[in-house]
Chain A
Amino acid sequence: MIEVRDLVFSYRKDKQTLHGLTFSVRDGEIFGFLGPNGSGKSTTQKILTGILKGHGGTVSLFGKDMQSTHTQEFFQKIGVLFEFPYLYANLSALDNLNYFASFYPKEQRRDAEELLDELDFKKDFLKKPVSSYSKGMRQRISMARALISNPKLLFLDEPTSGLDPAGAVLFRKIIEKERKKGTTIFLTTHNMLDADLLCDRVAFISGGNIAALDTPGNLKEKNSNHSIVIDYLYQGERSEKTIAAQELKSGIPFVYDELISVHSQEPTLEDMFIQYTGRGLV
């Protein structure tokens, strides 16, 4: 779906933002693009969505090179959720969605009301102006706008930002549903939980370079010290022991009266990011 080879880009002649990124995104995959502010993830996404031109290297989407002029057909196939909910504040949710949907062929469009219902949007607000909505409601309409054209490729920038925990869970379910439909998803986020739960593969980008690219599971496993912490009671006293995972093959290798908890010491995705890039996800 997406093929990127040696992608370079500079906003100014003396300052290069992207230093030769190479990656590919397969059809129907959720690909996480993770990095701190200023790492080049937004720039990469803008190049992929055809907003930014003048890059070096090769970038192709749907088998076509991005250097060639983007046809209306290209924009009909993509959906983009921006980091901020960009909407007409004087129009209602329905008017916004109907306006944006009007640029796509009729047979491609989804029903705005059904979509908002799926996104758990409060029905009382359907016809009220966006200026009266909360941040979470605006994020729901933005997601609906990205999905209304039934895109084959979906770019999501911080999809769960501004949502309460229930909203975040709902959004993850919707993203999963899109994947099941065969939509390819390019997810840009700071949120490690979203990336861990949703992504088939993730790329860590730092300083315009890809520091690591693999499945979240592999990344964590490769860097795990394979140890387990066991919390237990013995002769009325509570103790904790760290053992190698291999030692568990023949059962708990020490005496105890009662096991309280067993924790694997697998690193988190955030630990991995810091390890690969030397920077936190600010």
Chain B
Amino acid sequence: MRKVFWGLLKKDFKLMLSSKFFLLALGSLVLYSCYINFVYVKLDQKIYPVYLYDPQNTQADSEYVTRVDSREALEAACADQYSVGIDISEDRPELYLLSSGLKTADHYRMIWGGAVLNGDMDGQAAVIGINDKEMKNRREITAEFLFFELSAVGFLGLASMLFKEKQMGVIRVHGILPVRRPLFIFSKLFLLLGSDLLFTALLTGINLGFSHTLEVLPSVLLQAGILSLIMSLAGFLCAIRLPDFKQFSLFYLILAVFVTTPVFLAGQTGAAWEWIAYHPMYHLFVAMKSAYFSDPTAGAPYYMICSGAIILLFLLACRTLNREMAKEG
């Protein structure tokens, strides 16, 4: 059986080479790393501008505050939905801000406005964890890029390879070869998993540095392995079930728009949707991010559900493969 598996592996490796799969992965690695190192780590959020309407001049001047002459001027200055206004024309100070649409961001703006009003700007930030701003950014964006690569690009990679075999009709030939049919799936999974884990190790190593990588790599590899297996099996199923690449592309678009976009929005922005807790990809995303921050939040139920999903997808893939083998030419 080892020899048979080796034969399948060699063939799949050649197919992956000819479909430029590795070139694509290498391109992604270079692109993501360049973006992280030359762009993302230098990004920082502009501090919320604070406008103060203080006709009695009760407040001392501060580098964080811009004075305005009237209530109207204060409202005009805060019309950008980003700035914070402080009106102390009455006895009771009033914070004025137009909602940005994101609850969390508005909450931070209010805290910042209050801090400026009370002169508590320095020494108030709590140090959370062991990361400085740059390392926090690196971990965050690396986790997001890896999630995107494994869930979208990996899915497409295996499916495009399988579509080639389907179009050539060679899947049917495997139905009459002395080969256990699950091995046909295993060899592809093995290669994809190996390639995804290597990609994960390289992406993490390049962008987090050696010592930080060693610290998070085992848990990151575990999450990457789970995501890789789930997405590869889903890609396998779709590529066999859908009759042509056009339909597959449409399905891929739906997957990207309706499945992964809410996860990114919920994870990256302040969008607060209660239903996101029922979105399976969201939990995979959170587990990946937690792994990068050495904060494993996923418990036994998560791993049990993931294992169950992998087994179920594998059984479905075997069944679909058997049907494909019995199809007419």
Give residues in A with beta carbon < 8 Å to B.
Answer: 42, 46, 49-52, 72-73, 75-76, 78, 80, 82-84, 86-91, 99-100, 102-104, 145
Contacts and interface: CB of A to CB of B under 8 A. Distances in A.
A94 B236 CA distance: 28
B328 A90 contact: no
A86 to B, nearest CB: 4
Interface stretch (B10-18, B77-85, B279-287): B10-18
Residue among B4, B168, B328, B329 with the highest chain A CB neighbour number at 10 A: B168
Contacts of A91: 14
Residue among B3, B11, B177 with the highest chain A CB neighbour number at 10 A: B177
Interface string B1-40: 0011001001100110010000000000000000000000
A82 B329 contact: yes
Interface string B171-213: 0110111111000000000000000000000000000000000
Contact of B326 (A46, A83, A90, A103): A46
Given A51-B176, A82-B329, A103 B168 contact: no
Interface in B224-248: none
Contacts of A86: 168-170, 172-173, 329
A46 B175 CA distance: 10
Nearest to B6: A102
Contact of A50 (B15, B170, B176, B329): B176
A75 B172 contact: no
A89 B173 contact: no
SS of A interface (majority) = loop
B325 interface: yes
Contacts of A89: 168
SS of B interface (majority) = helix
B20 to A, nearest CB: 12
Contacts of B14: 90-91
A52 B326 contact: yes
Given A42-B328, A82-B173, A87-B170, 10 more contacts: A46-B326, A49-B175, A52-B326, A72-B180, A86-B168, A87-B168, A90-B14, A90-B15, A102-B4, A103-B177
A75 B176 contact: yes
Q: Which 6 A-B pairs have the closest CB atoms?
A: A86-B169, A75-B178, A102-B7, A72-B178, A84-B329, A90-B18
A231 to B, nearest CB: 46
B72 to A, nearest CB: 71
A42 B164 CA distance: 24
B86 to A, nearest CB: 68
A80 B174 CA distance: 11
A82 B172 CA distance: 9
A103 B179 contact: yes
Nearest to A85: B169
Contact of B329 (A80, A83, A88, A100): A83
Nearest to B179: A103
Contacts of B18: 90
Contacts of B179: 72, 75, 103
Given A51-B325, A51-B326, A88-B11, A100 B177 contact: yes
B175 A51 contact: yes
A90 B3 CA distance: 22
A75 B173 contact: no
B168 A102 contact: no
Interface residues of B, number: 25
22 contacts: A46-B326, A51-B172, A51-B175, A51-B325, A52-B326, A72-B180, A75-B176, A75-B177, A75-B178, A80-B173, A82-B172, A84-B329, A86-B169, A86-B172, A87-B168, A87-B170, A88-B165, A89-B168, A91-B14, A102-B7, A103-B177, A145-B173
A75 B176 CA distance: 6
Contacts of A88: 11, 15, 165, 168, 170
B191 to A, nearest CB: 16
B33 to A, nearest CB: 30
Interface string B264-282: 0000000000000000000
Given A75-B176, A86-B169, A89-B168, A99 B11 contact: yes
A58 to B, nearest CB: 20
A87 B178 CA distance: 17
Contacts of A100: 173, 177
B105 to A, nearest CB: 52
A49 B176 CA distance: 7
Nearest to A42: B328
Contacts of A78: 176
A90 B170 CA distance: 12
B170 A103 contact: no
Given A51-B326, A90-B15, A84 B7 contact: no
Contact of B7 (A72, A76, A99): A99
A151 to B, nearest CB: 10
Contacts of B7: 99, 102-103
B140 to A, nearest CB: 40
Contacts of B175: 49-51
A4 B4 CA distance: 32
A86 B171 CA distance: 9
A94 to B, nearest CB: 13
Contacts of B3: 102
A52 B179 CA distance: 16
A82 B175 CA distance: 12
A102 B177 CA distance: 10
A50 B170 CA distance: 17
Interface in B150-165: 164-165
Contact of B169 (A82, A99, A145): A82
